[in-house]
Structure 1
Amino acid sequence: MPIGKMKKHKEMLQHPVLRPHLPETHWFTDSRTSRMLNTYSSVFIKPNHGSGGSGIIRVKRLKKGYEVRRGSSRRIVGSRFVLRAIKSYQKSRHMYLVQKGLRLAKYHGSIFDTRIYLQKPGGKWVISGTAARVAAPHKYVTNYLKGGHAVSLHRVLFSLFKHNRTKADAYFREISKLSVIIAKTINKRHPVRELGVDIAIDTKGRILIIEANSHPGHMLFTQLPDPTMINTIMRNKRLIWK
């Protein structure tokens, strides 16, 4: 069974380098969710076991009440009914966590985050692929299965920092460094040999860890015009599973 999101979050939280980059995350309860809704302008409610952006609920504070969204479905409700609206979108057999909403930086008007694909074909972790995941218009998740598409991470960072290559390169190195630390941290307790790390940059330029996926999909990298990364991923997969 895949490793739950909360288990990975707690393991990363123990690492002093990773801790400052982790948004506040808790198990979903009425009281905790209410407190976070009072603290933050938005929160995300995610199934503990889920992938591809499936089942994610976003709750956004409005001038009056809240917008509760899952996929293309949305409701506007008052504060008295926000928890009821959230639960109407949840599946009873799933455990959920609640996470501080992030104000993601944008590329050409759409939010984006980064996917770092790490593999361990031998004795050490290597980064086989890096890409920016740019959300489809009006979407609040960037996942490939929800219409997100891949763009060269270097290109997106270069655009984000107004063609300041020094700054773009520094962010790329920091994201890469954090990803390897995440892989090593999770690998201490779990026998994983592939990991997809999702890292965001918010509107204030902060680097934030969204999550680490122990069964990452690789189709995102087929969208890049240069096939080098997908070829590397597939070659390392053969080494891992031979």
Structure 2
Amino acid sequence: MDGRQLASKWLKTEALLSDSRVADYIPATRMYNSSNLHQMLNQYGFVVIKPVVGGGGAGVIKVTKEGATYRYTYLANTRSFTSFDAMFRSLSSAKKKRSYLIQRGIRLATIGGRPIDYRVKVVKTNGAWVFRSLVGRVARKGLFVTNLCKGGTMLTAGQGIRRSLSGNWVRSKKNEMRHVTRICTAILEAKYPGIGQLGFDYGIERSGKMWIFEVNTRPQ
């Protein structure tokens, strides 16, 4: 195992939120509890809850509110409820006992109706950070998580941007991802010296707005 691992998504999110250069790339994030979930669903209509510790898309649950209907999707199964309390009770059993956080849901650009996000991996080599990969990941049909271990499909970032947005955006969006990655890497390394590799998960909305969903210190 090379370098430090920083398992907590909450700590990494807090570190990035503290820097005005990248804070706008982080979707609103709060610790999981009933009042935070209720408030964020009323505000955004769509949130994702995920374990504070864990990767590979494991345990990630999508929660939506449309009118008076509440729904959550775990893997390919969706359940609907007519009240927040009924849904919250059901969620409590679905999410096991782990500690979770809630993140504003982002409606990603899609390819053939399947959401796509991007993984940027950097590794520290001979004292300098080097870009190892920049790839797009398309969710398996029917799933909303794009993780390859959950059956997602990989393609180059350029192909992903071209097919989900437009060829005109390929260069600018790849440059933006690299630029933000460099800033975030410097922030995290200053706060947690000794990290040796980082994996950044980016999403892009149809409008072109880019988000950072997660930073992994042990990227797959």
Q: TM-score, normalised to structure 2's length?
A: 0.92
Q: Secondary structure at the match of 1:111?
A: strand
**What RMSD over aligned residues (CA atoms) do the two structures have, in Å?**
1.4
Task: Output the amino acid matched with 1:77.
Answer: F
How many angstroms does 1:180 deviate by?
A: 1.7
Q: Secondary structure at the match of 2:36?
A: helix
How many angstroms does 1:159 deviate by?
A: 2.7
2:215 maps to which residue? 212
Which protein is richer in strand relative to its size? 2
Query: Does the 8 A contact of 2:76 with 2:142 survive in 1?
Result: no
Match for 1:90 among 66, 90, 95? Answer: 95
Identity of aligned residues (%): 29
2:154 maps to which residue? 150
Q: Which runs of 5+ in 2 are unaligned?
A: none
Structure 1 residue 31 and structure 2 residue 35: aligned? yes
Structure 2: distance between partners of 1:208 and 1:23: 7
Structure 1: distance between partners of 2:147 and 2:139: 7
Structure 2: distance between partners of 1:72 and 1:110: 13
2:184 maps to which residue? 182
How many angstroms does 1:13 deviate by?
A: 0.4
Q: TM-score, normalised to structure 1's length?
A: 0.84
Residues 84-109 of structure 1: CA deviation (Å, up to 9, x unaligned): 122121121x1110110110001233
How many angstroms does 1:156 deviate by?
A: 1.7
Structure 2: distance between partners of 1:134 and 1:171: 17
Q: Which has the higher contact order (CA 8 A, sep 6+)?
A: 2
Query: Does the 8 A contact of 1:196 with 1:213 survive in 2?
Result: yes
**Which contiguous aligned blocks of 4+ residues in structure 1 show a shift greater than 3 angstroms?**
none
How many angstroms does 1:31 deviate by?
A: 0.7
Q: Pairwise mapping of residues 1-242 of structure 1 onto structure 2 (< 5 A)?
A: 2-79=6-83, 80-92=85-97, 94-164=98-168, 167-190=169-192, 191-217=194-220
Structure 2: distance between partners of 1:162 and 1:68: 31
Q: Which runs of 5+ in 1 are unaligned?
A: 218-242
